[in-house]
Amino acid sequence: MDIFIYKPIDLERPAFRLLQLLGGKGQVIECMLYQAYLDGADTVPYDALSYTWGGTDKTSTVKVNGKTLNVTENLHSALQHLRSEGIDRVLWVDAICIDQDNERERGHQVEQMCKIYSQAEEVIVWLGQATEETKILMESLRRLEEYSSMHGHRHWDLAQWTTFWLLVPQDPGFESRRGLDLLLRRPWFRRVWILQEIANAKKASIWCGTKSVRARTFALAPSLIGIKPERHCQAVLDIMPGRLREESWWSENRDLYNLLLKFSESKASDPRDNVYALLGISSDAYDNNNLRPDYTKGLQEVICDTALFLFGPSDVSYETMPKLLEDLASRNATSFLEVVETSNIRGVEHFLMRRGLEVPLSEDMIKGAVGNEKSGGDIMRLFLQKRRSEVEVTEAVVKAAAENVRIGREIMILLLQRCGSVVQVTKGVVNALQAALYEGHEEVVKLLLDKGADVNVQGGHFGNALYTASYRGYEAVVQLLLNYGADVNAQGGDYGNALQAASYGGYEQTVKMLLDKGAKVNAQGGYYGNALQAASSRGYEQTVKMLLNKGANVNARGGYYGNALQAASREGHKQVVNMLLDAGAKVNAQGREYGNALQAASREGHEQVVKMLLDSGANVNSQGGDYGNALQAASREGHEQVVNMLLDAGAKVNAQGGDYGNALQAASYGGYEQTVKMLLDKGAEVNAQGGDYGNALQAASARNHEQVVKMLLDAGAEVNAQGGYYGNALQAASHGGYEQTVKMLLDKGADVNAQGGRYRNALQAALSRGYEQTVKMLLNKGANVNAQGGRYRNALQAALSRGYEQTVKMLLNKGANVNSQGGDVTVWALPRPILVQVGYCSRYHTSYIPHSYI
């Protein structure tokens, strides 16, 4: 076995190595390693990996520059999950990029860790393999990211995130909670080196198995789920890129003293690293000559240098690193804030007795007390009893108390009763208390109103207080607000007004109260347009009946579904559909995404609702909506019974329109063989043009539905038909690298050099994703290697721009013209030998090439 041997790097300059992880699959991982410089203008963009070694035993191997290098099993697993099949990626990985046996090089590289991670495009945190619980957690957080991306979430506070989290579908078995608890127990959170890795990251993602989320989202997870992490874990979350880093202690106090206190429980195989790993992120020790990482120093010398830096000359000595770290808390006044935030009443009393005169009760201190979910009430009583003159109840304090989901109500009552005379009930205070309203805290609401709070103040996620209480169906709070003069028709919030919010939740008594107080039953606005549509979409029959009896316009337009009938039809609420039809709903009313009620029901496969609508006179060939007509909508999802019902009712099998042009193309795109057969048997035109994919054959080819492709060809589909996004079926299949489909099309006479579509021809389409076998098939069938046009102008440009070395060689061997002009090529992704081979070193400045390709 040919073992990889490191070549020395330039220790006189900020040199480091980068790892090019080659695309591929399977157990064998192949990489290239080369030297670069952190101060070089031509440094290749790279990602930095943050992980745990998982022990010192190197039981796995990778290929580096064609030679074998032993690595730990955990690193091997991380590289497997991060590797793409067709695209190389450039990484910095400490275990491979640093010669671990060279002490001088290790010290040199440790000094540069801060820059290595801060200059990385992204820090990838690898937490290890997934479990069922962690999969559920990561998927829930991914959904939260998707939902929040549709709103201006960048400056949200925790209350807003918590409110939005409640809208994400949750697992009823508390698997997300267990998943987070499991992840926070992973060794990564205890490894000392990850601290500067994640702290220096300008952008980071958290990976577990195949799933990932942004670090800024993951850091909020404990607060959203209601888990109190261990102190050390929370400190790690605080330094992740995002809101917590900007607002936590990290933005104010990063001296070495505080860092050692915060991360005293971090683990390191070498005790010296408990200090060395923090130097690069400390505000006061990063450039201290006595504390520079030097592995030629013994442990005792490092401990003495650290103690001297922190406390100055002293007779106190420490025999071990743990003893030094254990003694920090008793000498750090800022530890009081941590006690207030996390401890019980006894811990706070003890601290006050020992150093009470030295520690001011700042706003942060009071916020920490009221935010303590276990003992916040007792701590605040203690502060009011012992040092009431220092307790200032500010808007920020009220907000923090409202966010305490466990005992916020108790604390708010305490503050308003004992300090009410100094509390200004501002708009911000009332908006902060929407969290209290959300939980139905009637006493808190009454106290605020009694102290002059404006019952109709606008703002916050829910718009106003009445809306918030109505959304949750808190009848007592709704009645209280109405008694204090709340405007029953006030606008605001996602659902427009209180009546729509209550109707969405199906809270019949709340709906009745609002209507009795004069709520306008046909008021427009909000997500669902009106209260009737909101209740109809959720299938609340009694609420729908109540609204209709109060004069709700059954044909009112607006909202997400266009009208109430379409909303109920989309969700399959047949009883509500029947009620609306009986009340005079227009069965063919047009509007919004699904065009009409029949198309909405057909898209979701609600057979009984479809039958009901047809029996009520729905126009089976009505046009409109994303799918053009009901038949196309049902065909797109493969609802065979609905398709059959629509055809029997006279649906035109070749009707044009919608995203897919016609029903056959829609079914072909989805790969629904039985539906395709049914449509063909009913006379569907196999070569009909239109839609995003031009024709049915191209749609099926784009999704690699081999059986459908065969069915269409057997039915007479024109293999070279032009049109659509990819121009023709062969280009569509080539872009996906679908070898069997490509072969089938070629065997049926597909023109390998046909022009058109986004990639101009099939060869460029295959090259855009690096599918070598598909490229080889096309070339063997006579594809013109120098054909011009398309995004990359020619095949060689396409391969070069993506960094596919083997494909470049294949094209050159087939006669590709190296001097062909055009396109947009990024050549730094390739190693120098390939660039020399294709002649690019003469065309591009050498600064675009890595300094050393080992």
Decide if 846 is inside a domain: yes
Encode pLDDT of 669-679 as tens digits: 999 999 999 99
Q: Give the DSSP letter of residue 214.
A: E
Continuous segment of H or E residues that includes residue 185 = none
- Please identify, among 243, 278, 313, the residue that sits at the C-terminal boundary of a domain: 278
CATH number for 824: 1.25.40.20
Q: Which position has the token pair 């055809």?
A: 647
Cα–Cα distances (Å) from 375 to 59, 103, 108, 229, 347, in that order, read 49, 49, 48, 16, 10
Domains of the chain: total: 2
- Please identify, among 278, 312, 335, the residue that sits at the C-terminal boundary of a domain: 278
pLDDT at 843 over 50: no
Residue 638 Ramachandran class (φ > 0 left, ψ -120 to 50 alpha, else beta): left
- Please identify, among 278, 313, 330, the residue that sits at the C-terminal boundary of a domain: 278
Decide if 230 is inside a domain: yes
- What pLDDT does 845 receive? 32
Could you tell me which residues come within 8 angstroms of residue 319 by beta carbon, excluding any fewer than 6 positions away?
none
Encode pLDDT of 540-575 as tens digits: 999 999 999 999 999 999 888 899 999 999 999 999
SS3 456: coil
- The candidate with the shortest Cα–Cα distance to 100, out of 239, 295, 362, 278, is 295
- What pLDDT does 698 receive? 95
Q: State the chain's mean pLDDT as an integer.
A: 86
The amino acid that residue 11 corresponds to is: L
- What pLDDT does 637 receive? 95
Q: Which residues pair with 124 in a beta bridge?
A: 49, 205
Crossing angle of helices 465-472 and 475-483, in 10° steps, is 160
Decide if 817 is inside a domain: yes
- What pLDDT does 668 receive? 96
Decide if 766 is inside a domain: yes
- What pLDDT does 296 receive? 87
Decide if 763 is inside a domain: yes
Distance CA 354, CA 713 (A): 86
Distance CA 588, CA 581 (A): 11
Encode pLDDT of 394-415 as tens digits: 778 877 887 777 877 788 778 7
pLDDT at 834 over 80: no
Decide if 532 is inside a domain: no
Encode pLDDT of 196-222 as tens digits: 899 989 999 999 998 999 999 999 999
Decide if 19 is inside a domain: no
Domain with 142 in it: 132-253+260-278
Decide if 724 is inside a domain: no
